[in-house]
Amino acid sequence: MTQWTPSGTIAILLLITLSASAQPAARIALELDPAQAHHCQIKLLAPGEWEITTTGNDPHVFTAPIPAAFTPARHHNLSFEFASSTGTSSLQVFLVPPGDEKNSTKSAGLKITDPWSPHTIDLKNALNQTPRKPASLRIDLGNQPGKIIKLRAIALRETNAEEREIERAAIQKREAQAKRDAAIAAYLHRTYPCAITRVEVTADQVKIGGRLTGETTDLSLAELPVWRNAAASGPFTTTPLRSNAEGTFTITLARREAGRDRLLSRWAIVRQRGADQVLASAARWADQVQAEWEPPPARLRSRKGLGGFHAGTNMPVADLDELGISAVTVNIVLNDLFRTTRVDRSLPLPQLDRQPPRRRPAHRPAKVSR
């Protein structure tokens, strides 16, 4: 039977203490150095808490030397809590040395907030470009005087679980975007054996014409709705195709299908290869759309015209007649006419029987002509 002695107990406790101290710190606390403030005044409010008042257009502060326990690969997140009645126009953190633009990280300005709010800036990219560990950090607080910011709990720390999940999602998004971009580039540079040669949209029909080459028994016409990426793989909604002796075809489809308007659809020829469908032509938008209204052509009274006229402003409209100007161009910004949510005095344009969500506008609603 093993006998436990007091000395054995002390040895075990000492081993546990040494093991705990050997674990690298997850957080490296930082202090500000008031002696290195530029275009700002620093007041110590409490241990680890400062109030900064900017006095010029290049306000920045330096941290005291970073503790030796700092490991760039681990502690790349600069975090702190802040409170401000003014906010800042921007925020930028420089690694010192070298202290240049290349070895810095920009962040959005600090917002107006009370009470305290957390803020984190990931310095990983800047740290990866620096050949040696920085001795301190320079924190630039915008470019305006008269800003008041309180800072506390400044530290370089490890990435937490929530940030790791955000980073993982961001990596997946970048990889998916790179894959999509490569597919689009390949689609644009590929030569196809067949072609859609014309798409005409009338009030109730879509007429598609094209040219087929080679074996045609496995070819079909595919519809690509406006939200569909032309470079994406199938399956597609298809219609069988048959060409004439010249190898051309014309097919007429209903413009509206299952409550959806095909006006903004693209059309392509696809080939069936086993269970897969591959593009045999580039996709084509509508070449011609029948207008709902066809006003008679305007007849100009003279050759004099004016560009960039803004209707509904204080421009001297009466001068147009005195100058003999018979026509003006008026720019209409489509962004002001279309929204993803419904507002007052708007006309909903449902797709697939889905009505856009209604939201009361925070600003004056755009005027929409009926």
Among 151, 96, 154, which Cα is nearest to 126's?
Answer: 96
| Claim to verify: residue 92 and residue 130 sit in the same structural domain | yes
Among 237-241, 316-320, 325-329, the range scoring the smallest mean pLDDT is: 316-320
Residue 126: which H helix or E strand, with range?
A: helix 124-129
pLDDT at 357 exceeding the cut of 90: no
**Structural domain boundaries, residue 176:** 164-189
Note whether 35 and 151 are same-domain residues.
Answer: yes
Say whether both 222 and 151 belong to one domain: no
Q: Confirm whether 119 is domain-assigned.
A: yes
As a whole number of angstroms, the distance between CA 158 and CA 152 comes to: 18
The percent of residues above 90 in pLDDT, for the chain, comes to 60
- The answer to whether residues 142 and 47 belong to one domain is yes
331 - beta bridge partners? none
The residue out of 239, 273, 289 marking a domain boundary is 289
Higher pLDDT, 130 or 62: 62
Of 272, 289, 306, the last residue of a domain is 289
**Mean model confidence pLDDT for the chain:** 86
Are 130 and 240 within one domain? no
| Token digits of residue 161 | 């679980």
Lowest mean pLDDT among 24-38, 87-101, 136-150, 321-335: 321-335
pLDDT tens figures, 227-265 = 888 888 778 889 999 888 899 999 999 999 888 899 989
Residues 179 and 239 both lie in one domain: no
Is 51 within 8 Å of 42 (Cβ atoms)? yes
Domain identity same for 220 and 177 = no
Q: Taking a C-beta distance cutoff of 8 angstroms, is the pair 277, 271 a contact?
A: yes
The arithmetic mean of pLDDT across residues 182-190, rounded, is: 94
pTM recorded for the entire structure: 0.59
Q: What is the DSSP letter of 154?
A: E
Q: Where is pLDDT greater, at 273 or 179?
A: 179
Number of structural domains, the chain? 3
- At position 137, the amino acid (one-letter code) is L
- Predicted confidence at residue 13, as pLDDT, reads 43
Is the N-terminal amide bond of 296 cis, ω within 30° of 0? no
Q: Are the CB atoms for 277 and 235 separated by under 8 Å?
A: yes
What is the distance in angstroms between the CA of the first residue and the CA of the last residue of the chain?
95
